[in-house]
Chains A and B, each alone.
Chain A
Amino acid sequence: MPVKNVYEARIEHLQILDEEARLDEKLAKWPDGRPVLTDAEVLELYQYMVRCRAVDDLAFKLQRSGRMGTYPQNRGQEAAAVGAGFAAKRGVDYLVPCYRENAALWMHGLPMHYVLLHWMGDERGNQIPDGVCQTPLCIPIGTQMLHATGIAWAFKMRKEARVAITFFGDGATSEGDFHEAMNFASAFQVPCVFFCQNNQWAISVPRESQTASETIAQKAVAYGMPTTQVDGNDLFAVVRASTDAIERARAGGGPSFIEAVTYRLADHTTADDARRYRDAKEVEAWQKRDPLIRLRSYLQARKLWDDAKQAALDDEAKAAATEVVRTAEGIEAPSTDEMFDYTFAAPLPAELELQKRTLQTHSLGQDPAQAGLSAQQA
C-alpha cells in the first residue's frame, strides 16, 4: 500500500511595508479597496509609537537613578503592540497582556502612568479603571493565555460580539499554559487571538534554542488554528493580520494565531545586560529595521512628515513622558489597609481585620482587647 500524505501545512509571511519603507500597494488595501490604514491613522499610530519610546527612555533613566524597580523596555517592538492594539476595538475587545505591549494598553484607555506605577512597585498600577477592557500585567510567563481563553469562553457563553487578544513572547511558547490555552481555545472555538511577539530572545536564550520549530506560527497548525507570520516591525502587516484574526473571531470563526517577527532592541529588563550574550552585529542589523525609522521614512516619502514635525513630536513626547513620571511619583504610597482589603471579597474575615488593625498576626499572641476588638470579633 502506498504511503499517503495525510497533512500538509504552509506558513505565510506577510510584509506590506518593507525594510526600505516601500509599500505593497495591493496588500495595503482590503479586497474591497479600502486602505488597511489611512494616512491619518498612520500618523496617529506613529505618534503612539514615538510616545511609547519616550516613556521607555525615561523609565530606563529612572531605574538607573534608583527611582523605579525593574522595567522591561518595549524598544523595537512598538509596531507590533500598536498594530495589534489598533485592530482590537476599544471598549469592546479585551487585551490580555504580559508586559511588553505598553502602547496597546494606553491606546485602549489605560492611563499611561499606571504602567510606571506598576513597575515602581505599586499594585494600584494594575487597578484597571472601569470601562477599560484589559487585564492586569501578567509576569508569570504564559499564565495569562489561559485567562484570555476563559474570558473568550465567557464572551461566547454570553453571546457577546467581543474578542480577547492575548500577548506573549517567543519564550512563553515553551510553557504548558501556551499549549493548553491553544488547545482549549481551538477545541471550544472561542473568540481569542494569540499574538506572539517573537523578539528573538527570552532573556539570554535565543529563539533557536527555545524551540526546534522553524517558525513559531507553525505551532498553531497542530491545534487546527488559522496561523500566520508577519513582519512585526511593519505596522501595516500587523494591522492587517490582526484585523483579519480579530474579525474572524468576532464572526464566530474561532481563534487564530499571529507570530509577529520583531526584535528586542534593549536589554530584557533594566536588570539585564544583553551585551554579555548578544552579538553587537546582530543588534546593529536589527536597529536598521527599527519600526520607528521605517514608518518615519514612509511618512516622509509621502510628504506627510518632516524634520520639524519630528522635532516637535519628540519634544512633546518627552514632555508627556516627564508628566507621566511626575504623576506616578506624585501618588502617595499605599496605606497598609490596601494589603488586607483585597485578599477576600468583603467582608474581611475577623482574623484579617485584626491583622489589619494591628499589623501583627495572632502568632505574636496579642490580646484582641488591646486591638480594640472584642474576643468574639478576633
Chain B
Amino acid sequence: MTQFAPPMPDLDRSLPSREGDRVIQFREALREAMSEEMRRDPRIFLMGEEVAEYNGAYKVSQGMLEEFGPKRIIDSPISENGFAGLAVGAAMYGLKPIIEFMSWSFSLVAADQLLNNVPKMLYMSGGQWGCGAVFRGNDGAGGQLGSTHSWCVEGLYANVPGVKIAIPSCPYDAKGLLKTAIREKDPVFFLESERMLGDKAHVPSEEYYIPFGKAALMREGDACTLVSFGRPVNFCIEAADELRGEGIEVDVLDMRTIRPLDIDSILASVGKTGRIVVVDQCWPFASVASEVVTQVCERGFDLLDHQPVRVNSDDVPAPYAKNLEAEFLPNKTKIIAAVKKTLG
C-alpha cells in the first residue's frame, strides 16, 4: 500500500476551548470531521444504507454526496454483513472505509465480520493485514424504538480485543474523536446516539484531534466520582449540577473511549473522593460498568470508603412504551440516589 496515508497528528497538543459561539448540531460535527478528513485523504469513503442520495437516514452525511461524488459516498444494498465484510477487504487493501450502520442494533447481523474478522485480521496475519476501518452509527435507545432497535452494543463489543471503541457525549467530542478515529490504524467502533444528533454546542472550526484513552473532567468535586460515557454523561452533569445546589460536589468523568479505558484518571479521582458511581446505559450484567468497578477494586481497593455503585439500564429487554423506556434507562434521579447511597 503506497498511497498517501496521513499520519496520526500530535495528540499531546492542547485542545481548543469548548467555549465559543460557533454553535452547531452533533450531526454537523460528525459531518465536519468526516469531510475534513476526506478532503485530505483520497483513501476514505463513506458507505452505508441511505448515506448518499437520502443524505443519511439521520442526515449526518447531508451534502456529502454533492461534495465528494458517488464514488466516495456510497449507498449500499441493505446488507450489514455485506458492507462490514467489504470494509474488511477494502481496508486490507489500503483504503479507509467509514461504514455507517443506521443503528448499531443492525450490526448484530454482521457479528461474524465485526467480531470475528475486523479485530483479528492483523493478529491472524502476524501483523500483515490491518483493518483500519471506522464503523459508526446510532447506539442505545433512540426513543421508543422497541427492544430490537435499542441496543447498546458497548457491553458486547468491548469484550473483544483488537478494536477501539469511542463514544462521544457532546458535539465537541463528536468532531474531535471522529477525526482521531479516522486517523487510527486500528479498527474503531464509533457509537453515536440518535437522541443526541440534534444536540447543539460550540464546535471549533479548526481541526483538532481528541486522544483516545484520556477521560475529560466535566465537573469537579470531592464528594464522589461519577464515571460515564456517551449519552448518560449528560445525565451525570445534570445530576452534578443539582447536587451542587445541595452542597454536594462531585467529579464527573467522561471516558470518551471505552477501549482504551482511562483507568488512571478514574483511580486518581477515586483517590480524592473515596467513592464511585458508574453510569452505563447497557445492561448491568458483564457490562463496561462492571469492568470499571472490577478494575477499581483490583487496583484501588484501599482508596474506597464505600462499595462501588452502578447505574445501568434495568436487566430486561428495552421497553417500547414511553413511560417504561424512561424508567428503564439511567436518568438524573437514579444517579442522584446512587451518589447519595455512597455518601451513606
Residues of A at under 8 Å CB distance from B? 94, 96, 123-124, 126-128, 135-136, 140, 143, 145-155, 157-158, 164, 176-177, 180-181, 183-184, 187, 338, 341-345, 349, 351, 362-363, 365, 376
Contact = CB atoms under 8 A, between A and B. Distances in A.
B162 A176 contact: no
B91 interface: yes
Given A140-B116, A150-B85, A362-B299, A345 B123 contact: no
Q: Top 9 nearest A-B pairs by Cβ distance?
A: A150-B89, A146-B85, A180-B82, A127-B126, A345-B185, A154-B93, A147-B89, A150-B86, A150-B90
User: Which of B76, B82, B295 is most buried by chain A, counting CB atoms within 10 A of its CB?
Assistant: B82
A181 B110 CA distance: 13
B82 A376 contact: no
21 contacts: A123-B124, A128-B125, A143-B117, A146-B81, A147-B86, A150-B88, A150-B93, A150-B97, A151-B89, A152-B89, A157-B90, A177-B85, A180-B77, A180-B81, A180-B82, A181-B85, A181-B86, A345-B184, A349-B213, A349-B260, A363-B298
A290 B104 CA distance: 49
Contacts of B116: 140, 143
B123 A149 contact: no
Contact of A184 (B86, B94, B161): B86
B205 interface: no
Given A143-B112, A157-B95, A363-B294, A149 B86 contact: yes
B128 interface: yes
B264 A376 contact: yes
A94 B92 CA distance: 12
B287 interface: no
Interface residues on B, range: 35 or more
Given A143-B113, A150-B90, 15 more contacts: A94-B93, A123-B126, A136-B129, A143-B85, A146-B86, A147-B86, A164-B89, A176-B81, A177-B113, A183-B77, A183-B79, A184-B76, A184-B82, A345-B185, A349-B213
A184 B90 CA distance: 13
Contacts of A164: 89
Given A157-B95, A184-B76, A376-B264, A151 B125 contact: no
Given A140-B112, A184-B76, A362-B295, A147 B117 contact: yes
A338 B124 CA distance: 11
A344 B95 contact: no
Contact of B88 (A123, A147, A158): A147
A184 B298 contact: no
Contacts of A362: 295, 298-299
A162 B93 CA distance: 12
A344 B85 contact: no
Nearest to A351: B260
A127 B128 contact: yes
B87 interface: yes
B71 A157 contact: yes
A338 B85 contact: no
A351 B291 CA distance: 14
Contact of B91 (A127, A150, A349): A150
A151 B132 CA distance: 14
B3 interface: yes
B130 interface: yes
Contacts, number: 142
Contacts of B126: 123-124, 126-127, 338, 342
Nearest to B86: A150
A148 B185 CA distance: 21
B161 to A, nearest CB: 5
Contacts of B71: 157
B92 A151 contact: yes
Nearest to A368: B299
Given A123-B123, A128-B128, A345-B130, A149 B79 contact: no
B326 interface: no
A365 B79 contact: no
A219 B216 CA distance: 53
Contacts of A143: 85, 112-113, 116-117
B85 A147 contact: yes
Nearest to A186: B77
Contacts of B94: 154, 158
A7 B267 CA distance: 68
B186 interface: yes
A365 to B, nearest CB: 5
Given A143-B116, A180-B81, A181-B82, A342 B92 contact: no
A46 to B, nearest CB: 32
A96 to B, nearest CB: 8
A149 B87 CA distance: 9
B135 interface: no
Contacts of A148: 89
Contacts of A94: 93
User: Which of B126, B213, B299 is most buried by chain A, counting CB atoms within 10 A of its CB?
Assistant: B126
User: Which of A96, A126, A155, A363 is most buried by chain B, counting CB atoms within 10 A of its CB?
Assistant: A126
User: Which of A140, A343, A344 is most buried by chain B, counting CB atoms within 10 A of its CB?
Assistant: A344
B129 A184 contact: no
A146 to B, nearest CB: 3
A155 B85 contact: no
Contacts of A128: 125, 128-129
A157 B298 CA distance: 49
B245 interface: no
A135 B113 CA distance: 15
